[in-house]
Structure 1
Amino acid sequence: MGPMALRSEMRRSIYQSARVLLLALLVAAVWPVGAGHADGQRIFIVTDIVVDETAETAVAARAMAEMAGRRAALTRLLKRLTRSTDWSRLPELEPNDILDLLKGHSVRDEKTSAVRYLGRLDFAFRPAAIRQLLDNYDLAFAETESTPVLIVPIFRGRQGDILWAEDNPWYDVFLKAEESDGLVPLMLPYRELADMQSLSLQTALKADSADLAPLTERYATERAAYVIATVRPATDEQGQTLELKVIERNETGEESIATEDLGAVQDNMLVERLTTAAVRARIAIEDFWKQRNEVRLDIESRVTVVVPITDYQAWLQLGKSLDNVAGLRRWSVVQLGQKEAVIDLWTNGGIEQLRLALNHEQLQLAPGPVDWYLLPRDKAALPNRQQPATADTNQPQQTDTVPATGNKS
């Protein structure tokens, strides 16, 4: 190699080394090499708590309202994280103890008079403190948000069985229901021709969860559930009763079933009772999820992932995303190269829980030759709304899935 070629090679080597060093410094500024923290803060924020208190002065009324709001927000948060069978065991804390759990609060809207305070408040709680509280009271909990669950509402009444027809009161109840702030969002099919072709009433009445696969593919979701409301004559042949059955198929193909007798129902109270049944169905679906995704504070596992390096902005976004991953306790950059980095992720759950939590932040685990790869996850699109009675020409995109087996920790 001649002198000029040697100098050229040296400059190239110095340039490459400087590039790697600069990227390392930029990454270190955002992600310190060592322990980082990812608390999934969003899960621990409770919004839109309505308060209304009266006292001798406006200041006293506001203090009372904030105290009542903190308690209501804590109760909602604990119910969000725990199964319904444990709600009777939720701790009743003193006001100062609740204050110790709080990170802060903000005011959405407020009105005051000389003696009254009305407001809508948001509260943010400290994740580590909430986890420790639940662990101290031996309460199992989950904190990973689910992808949407597609629900198929079947109504069985004296006039026959209804699924896709416009006069399905059970569908209408879910359509009008307020959006929940729990861990599991629900979604309804559009009730279009393509839905009827994907799942007929006759097939749905078999309640075989495997038959839900065409709908989950159409709506690009991993989970779906039959929610069946049955009005049947009472055993004493006087009046009628309402029965609820929920059959869910989860992302691994496993089936969960819950049934509940909601008691007597009169025709003029049907919508009201169906509304109650819809709440119970939502709770059952949430309980299925929480049971499968319980956090174990006494067990911490490490998952090593390889992250391809593209540009600085991608690193910034990845750091923000990791900070929002529920169940991810901490992470650290352990190796940095020119084209990829190696990161350790620490979690209190298994690889499947981590995969689901990452999916929610539009990240995915992909198996590599040795370690997992952490990659951006493209959002799967819902099918476009159709005009009535037209064929489905919009093919839905299939959600990417990652094998849930194997632990690279």
Structure 2
Amino acid sequence: MLASLLPVRWGVVADFARGGQLAHLYIASRRGLVSWLGVRHIRAAAAGVAAGLALSVVGFPASAEDEAYTVAAYPVDAVASDAVTAKQKALAEGRQAAFRSLLKRLVPVTAYDRLDRVKHVKADELLEGVSVRDERTSATQYIASLDFSFRPEPIRDLLRSEGVPFVDEQAPAVTLIPVFLPAAAGQGAVPAELSAARGSRMWREVWAGLDLEHALTPVKLGDTKPELTAEVIQKLVKGDGSVLSVFSKAYGSSLVMLAVAQPDLAAKRLNVTLTGRDAVGAFVLKRSYRLNLDDPLYTGELAAVIALGILEGRWKALKFDGGTASAGFGGALMPVQMIVEFRNLRQWQQMQQRISMLPGLEGMQVDGLSARGADVTVMYPGGPEALAQALTAQGFDVRQYGSTLQVSPSL
């Protein structure tokens, strides 16, 4: 009905909801609407809200440590018999969904099962204020971009009382430079949106559209500098630590990263590399995403969403376990059973290599292999929970069932 007015790529939201793979996501658009979605629980039960509710900036967190309790630019959309009812419905559903999303921002992925203990809590009991960024209405539909600010202390008390671990301390901000590399020569005609100029603009805009300020890992976007030559970029992508000092000096910070995106037109993939140093440490992470050549922006948004989620996952793993997120978790070696899910043999080989290279992991043994999964046994310091944290920090989707881990790609 209001498709022409929609300020966000709602198809991205819908596809994530159907896929149900990621626990939480920022969904961003170059049109300026951003959301943090609890994808596994996308719809909230409607709660009452006064018809004449006036939305304004009210009581937002004043201290830096409370920044993570704001869920900014959250999209709401509802249809009803009239505009007033549609707005009431959108606000009620939106605040509950934003609250669920906040909890998933704060709670380590390995403790998501404990969120059932607080699913009965109504968001309006913990809401500090709401601000409107943008809103559109018709006779029967209400669409808006809202900032929800929640009360930190009552939420902390709630989680502590229910035994739900959480991390609300933001990491030191990292400077991130989005770099778009054109497709390699010899792959045929390049779509206009993936040209060097337009691709670079798209890749930067999807990052700028994220709520970088309130993330657990705040990000400041940087510009490409002369020191960041093609040679330096390639060395960073390959994990050559010898150029980290050059990279850091150019940007005046030890916490600086590249997010490099390059389309592979022949394979219809967007290859993305995160490389540099965040608050956890130096790392290189490579991911590949299906690329719709008719809509590359969709893939760009998805890649940026997951990249930011990986940075947050690394930070939560570090804080939750006291400082060993990426290099093992200490303690005696313990056996861990894993069910590794994959789509094809190539993906299995890639996952097997990444898992086997985890610091501290020993004795990786494949006990069974099928077309879509593998039964794997490993030894890891600290056992299954420690390994789950390490795998999550590397961008895997991990579920824990007792002493067994189910490991799959994020998408």
TM-score range relative to shorter protein = 0.3 to 0.5
The TM-score with structure 2 as length reference comes to 0.48
The structure number with the bigger radius of gyration is: 1
| Larger relative contact order (Cα-Cα within 8 Å, sequence gap ≥ 6) | 1
The TM-score with structure 1 as length reference comes to 0.48
